[in-house]
Amino acid sequence: MAFEEFGQLSRRRREERAQIKKKVLILVLVLIILAAAVVAGVFAFLNSKKSKGNNAPSSSSEGGGGGGGEDAAKLSNKIVQMLCDPTDYRQKCEETLIKVVHTNASTPTIAPKAIIKAAISAAADEVVKAISQSGKFKFDTPDEKAAYDVCKKLFKDSVDELGEALLHTGQEIKDFKSKIPDLKTWLSAVYSYQETCIDAFPEGESKNNIQNALNSTKEYVGNSLALVSQISSFLQKFAAAAAARRAQPAARHLLAHTADPSGASQVDAEGFPEWVGRGERRLLTKAVVNLVPNITVAKDGSGNFTSINECLKSLPENSKERIYIYVKTGIYKEYVTVTKKMVNITMYGDGSQKTVVTGDKNFVDGVRTYETATFAVMGEGFVGIAMGFRNTAGPEKHQAVALRVQADRSIFLNCRMEAYQDTLYAQTHRQFYRSCYITGTIDFIFGDAAAIFQNCLIIVRKPMNNQQNIITAQGRADRHENTGFVLHNCRIRPDKSLEPVKKKFKTYLGRPWKEFSRTIVMETSIEDFVDPAGWMPWQGQFALKTLYYAEYGNHGPGADVSKRVKWPGYKKAISRKEAEGYTVTPFLQGSWIKNNPNVLVHLGLYN
């Protein structure tokens, strides 16, 4: 069976099965403690109502306590309904939880343990079932086989993400509070992987089969996202109430993502996320020439390696120490993948037009979009500085990715991404781009990451005669995902090829790739070539009620919102407070925030 080892996360984890089980139990216990306060409160409330309305013994109690059992069953049903209320697939949620709650109804503090364990187990089980089922399908055409190869990689990524969700948690409530954004990120990624797998297939029977096989997986993962969000909401309210009782500011000592009472974002003076450590802050604000590399790549033979791939092969796996790789001036014609085991890498060049990685893989030539990337980043904590990433396939080749980023906590500074359709695939997890140059034509910033593009140049190129330009295509497919694109303090303008003919081609800020697509453009300069409607539908009425598109504080002739679309999901005027929620810290923070707490200043919106 192609996926017989996927149920066991890795060789290391198989060898440490006993330790993993302990860690899983730790996660369950932590979640239990958090949910217990909510569930126990419901028990207390319902029991109090029951006791008030039933002061006299029930008639059935004379027959041996049968009425008590009925009451317990009713109470269990109410608890399940309360827990499943925020989920989109309530029947599946209730079917998963009802037996667990019935079993533990007499001991309210135990019920949450079994509830959370059941929810997580159900999601994991469905992934394994989908893997097994898809392995039995027959794929006849080269396109279908290539699509299935993409799915196999994404299935493994799904298992890894669920493993992270189970294994990475603290033993105390205070530790778990900061882990909630991580759980949302991992579960959001799993949901996105299923969508990407389906999208890889051409229309037809095989795509339908894959979609059917993954439906339950998506539903159970979606329910898990909803339950985690419910816990997160409860903790925020509880923390705010506790802070009010203490009558002192709460932003620094409660949830990591709780906003400062003044509405300020907790970022450093350069606007970096909190999770950018002190060393990375210094790194990103220094001139590249001051950096000291561990390894040097140079085409002329003056470094340790002549290719980036040779260099990456030499790296230790899962390094705890940051590794600095200097790539000297040159055009590097190679397809690079920074794998999941290549973590904490900083790769920098001599400039985004001097150190360039280039390729030309594309969809028209039979390569799935996911696989067309010239440079792919999967290793956590990647930092890219002063480098260029190109796909030279051209507009006639359709989807052709220059840079695909799947890495969590990834940063790109002063980098350049060049292609036409699908230039930058901001695939999953948390990403931060600062002072980058991103150019293309159709959906040239797309994916399902939580990504902020700050102080970036968004340059629109001339498309083919029968095409139009769309800058973003964000792929949030479940309303509980924590993903979205934020263009903040950027400049949106045509390049020199489009400028003289800009009236011949329509240009839009974005369109909804998935049902809950989320994109915010704020405090950004928009030139006059952007269509007054601003946004373009994907197809018919799809997602127009469920998407979230917003603009705030933009300027320039293209920023006039008076003629924007009238979709229910579009917000042409959001409040300052709402806009603050999409600044760096509220939107990108996570449990890995370990910065000096003194490096916190008020720098949310620019104006």
Which residues are designated catalytic? 443
Q: CA-based angle 137:139:140, to the nearest 5?
A: 145
Q: What is the spatial distance between Cα 40 and Cα 467, in angstroms, rounded to a whole number?
A: 58
3-state secondary structure string, 551-606? EECCECHHHCCCCCCCCCCEECCCCHHHHHCCCHHHHHCCCCCCCCCCCCEECCCC
Q: What is the spatial distance between Cα 544 and Cα 30, in angstroms, rounded to a whole number?
A: 39
510's tokens: 């974005």
Spatial CB neighbours of 297, under 8 Å, sequence gap ≥ 6: 303, 304, 305, 306, 307, 308, 310, 311, 325, 326, 327, 328, 332
99's tokens: 């037996």
Longest CA–CA span in the chain (Å) reads 93
Q: What is the spatial distance between Cα 535 and Cα 470, in angstroms, rounded to a whole number?
A: 8
Tell me the residue ranges of DSSP E strands in 169-259.
Answer: none
Q: List alpha helices for 54-89, DSSP H.
A: 66-84
Helix (H, G, I), strand (E, B) or coil at 357: strand
Q: What is the spatial distance between Cα 382 and Cα 384, in angstroms, rounded to a whole number?
A: 7
328's tokens: 């000297």
Query: Pairing state of beta strands 601-602 and 266-267?
Result: antiparallel
| Helix (H) or strand (E) run with residue 334 in it | none
289's tokens: 């020439």
3-state secondary structure string, 298-318? CCCCCCCECCHHHHHHCCCCC
Q: What is the spatial distance between Cα 589 and Cα 607, in angstroms, rounded to a whole number?
A: 22
Alpha carbons within 13 A on the beta-carbon side of 100? 21
Closest-CA residue to 552 (of 527, 577, 585, 516): 577
Closest-CA residue to 586 (of 578, 598, 596): 578
Q: What is the spatial distance between Cα 187 and Cα 162, in angstroms, rounded to a whole number?
A: 7
Q: What is the spatial distance between Cα 367 and Cα 326, in angstroms, rounded to a whole number?
A: 30
- Would the CA dihedral through 243, 244, 247, 252 be positive or negative? positive
587's tokens: 């939107």
Helix (H, G, I), strand (E, B) or coil at 489: coil
Q: What's 461's DSSP letter?
A: P
CB atoms within 10 A of CB 530: 26
490's tokens: 């950027």
